[in-house]
Amino acid sequence: MDGGEEALSAADEVARSLRVEIVAGRIPPGSALRQDELATQFGTSRIPVREALKALQAEGLVSYSVNRGAVVTEVSPAEVLDMLEVRIALETHALKLAILRMVPEDVAEARSILSDYDNAGAPEEWSDMNATFHEVLCAPCECERLMLLIRENYLHVNRYARISVSGIVGKDQPQKEHWRLLDLCEKGNVVAAVKLLEQHIRSTQKTLRANIRRKAAGR
């Protein structure tokens, strides 16, 4: 048996492809997803396309109206703020557990990511690196369910914030906090680490909130 060959249905293929496009923002929120169009595009009939759309609906990526088809869901700024609240809940708890189980190798891995981060160029990469760092830091919690939700959370937040946040928060301040956070983890200072992590996420939240205000006023 070979490594990872998995037979996947056309519907799964379509769903996977669309998911990537939507999360990447290449299919912008509000776009109508025409079944016929997608079907010809993927070289299938509409049946697998419809199944894919249903799956994406369950994932919250598209919204479905009967007889009017699927539309890429709009993510409101308020919802993103909520999502960041969820992130605080998930990550602080995961971190609490993770620190107790963290071994030097985990710290080393996180450190290496931060180093790459230091030398990183394009802002588009920042959000990926950020996600990776937070994931590595939380991973030792050994709670697969928590990690799943954390990953999902990043996906959804990034969908909105890919430009809005990363480009505005900047890199230096978050990065400083990352190093400090890693330090606290290494020292096993759970309380301080959790506190810093919450502040860290809250600062993203604050920036976003300010950004929303500015947009509301400016336009």
Neighbours of 186 (CB within 10 A): 17
* Partner interacting with residue 44 (select from DNA, its own copies, none; CB below 5-8 Å by kind): DNA
Closer residue to DNA (CB): 28 or 170: 28
Strand partners, 62: 72
Minimum CB distance to DNA, residue 2 (Å)? 15
Q: Which value, to the nearest 10 degrees, does the dihedral of the CA atoms of residues 94, 95, 99, 100 take?
A: -40
Coil, strand or helix at 71:
strand
Which of 11, 70, 72, 185 touches its own copies (CB under 8 A)?
A: 11
DSSP string, 7-63: ---HHHHHHHHHHHHHHTTSS-TT-EE-HHHHHHHHTS-HHHHHHHHHHHHHHTSEE
Residues within window 96-155 making contact with its own copies, judged by CB under 8 A: 97, 143-146, 149
Binding residue for its own copies, selected from 36, 37, 74, 82, defined by CB under 8 A:
82
Give the x/- contact pattern for DNA in 56-95, rule: CB under 7 A: --------x-xxxxx-------------------------
Out of 38, 88, 184, 193, the only residue in the binding site for its own copies (CB under 8 A) is 88
Nearest-CA neighbor of 154 among 87, 103, 62, 60? 87
Binding site for DNA (CB under 7 A): 7, 9-11, 32-36, 43-48, 50-51, 64, 66-70
